[in-house]
Structure 1
């Protein structure tokens, strides 16, 4: 089946698959990642007996403005693979004379993955229009997939927590592809698994890397949304399809 995606800039017809970024597109990126990074930094700090200034330093290195509890536009958290975020914390401590912490960070990241399961109501905040859009896509026979820099398992956890697990047909996290966005690997995997060509798919995301991945994959449209880290003016330099948030995306 197929449907048309209606945007302020026009209509994209014969769409069989909508691929979404997760953080900043479907859920509030600042609430999710600022809290995750804070919890990670606090656990590392407790394990090493660090002063609070170093806990804050780890957060800043990973890409969180600790005072505002907001993600920095340059990341790396929210934009780069998990391993890059982890290494940023390791490098910060090494620059401050605290070495050989890589395995500690690996263990803490895994521990926080588990501990955060009890905090999902605090960490996950859906953005406006999410359920309505997913209901409309599903009702019109359009498959839904996620292409995310998060772990695949964590993305599924998020969708299930929001009550949308049965709406999503496939998720490709950065942990199951050779190259994360802006490479097209995640999108190609979604298309291949669902049997829908990129030419009948749209990519929707809040970051430059999302739009670039959609373009590289050969999607029918690469749609930028201004609800995350990237200004709509910046996204408009990459694609003609830019919306404030997914509530401005409709299905017919």
Structure 2
């Protein structure tokens, strides 16, 4: 059985506390640009995707004239979303890591497993979040990847592959992925990860994640650690 060398976690909703703020900001940006019928439910369903791709997907539903769906319009809506998120993550007092995140990261590090983050956010938002929660110094988080740093965001495997290359890890079967959305689970599958763990404390429920075939389901990060510990015991047994 392969040794786990790397755990790649999603950010908002998985390791960073989120009160639907991302989906609300996403919905607001579309509403303000002439698409008032975009619902919060639709925005939630696009969580985890790279945000420009998610904007394009929703415009294809809400814009009858496909000629109006231009790169320029998508960039304009995305810029409004990014500005809202930058303001939120820089200033909102509720920004914090989810329960047990740092303890789980430290436990994994002590087991010889590197910890990384990937996200549907762009790098500018990612860096603000890392600074706000004190993870920018490399002590608990060894690497991070943002969706604007790779050719394609989730569910494509490029962010995981970028992190692996940065950390010198070559075998995807030594990597596990953890996240709260369908695209997190599918990203793990597409990267060929040993495990693709769906966590049910974020956007998607257990019932919503099951059709995407997660290798495991966890209610919280503590359960993720238990899954890893059980696997490590099995490999040594």
Count of residues in Structure 1 that have an aligned counterpart in Structure 2: 218
Equivalent residue number for residue 53 of structure 2: 84
For the residues of structure 1 that align with 2:78 and 2:208, how far apart are their CA atoms? 34
Stretch of structure 1 that moved more, 192-201 or 125-134: 125-134
- The answer as to 2:162 corresponding to 1:189 is yes
Greater C-alpha radius of gyration: 1
For the residues of structure 2 that align with 1:169 and 1:17, how far apart are their CA atoms? 10
The Cα of 1:156 is off from its aligned counterpart by: 2.9
Q: Encode CA deviations 1:4-51: one digit per residue, 9 max, x unaligned.
A: xxxxxxxx8621100011122112444431453476468x47xxxxxx
TM-score (norm 2): 0.75
- The answer as to 2:27 corresponding to 1:18 is no
Unaligned runs of 5+ residues in structure 2 are 230-237
Equivalent residue number for residue 7 of structure 1: none
Matched residue SS, 2:14: coil
Stretch of structure 1 that moved more, 176-185 or 152-161: 152-161
Equivalent residue number for residue 232 of structure 1: 206
CA contact (8 A) 1:31 1:125 kept: no
| RMSD, aligned CA | 3.2
For the residues of structure 1 that align with 2:79 and 2:184, how far apart are their CA atoms? 29
The Cα of 1:182 is off from its aligned counterpart by: 1.4
Unaligned runs of 5+ residues in structure 1 are 1-11, 46-53, 66-70
TM-score (norm 1): 0.71
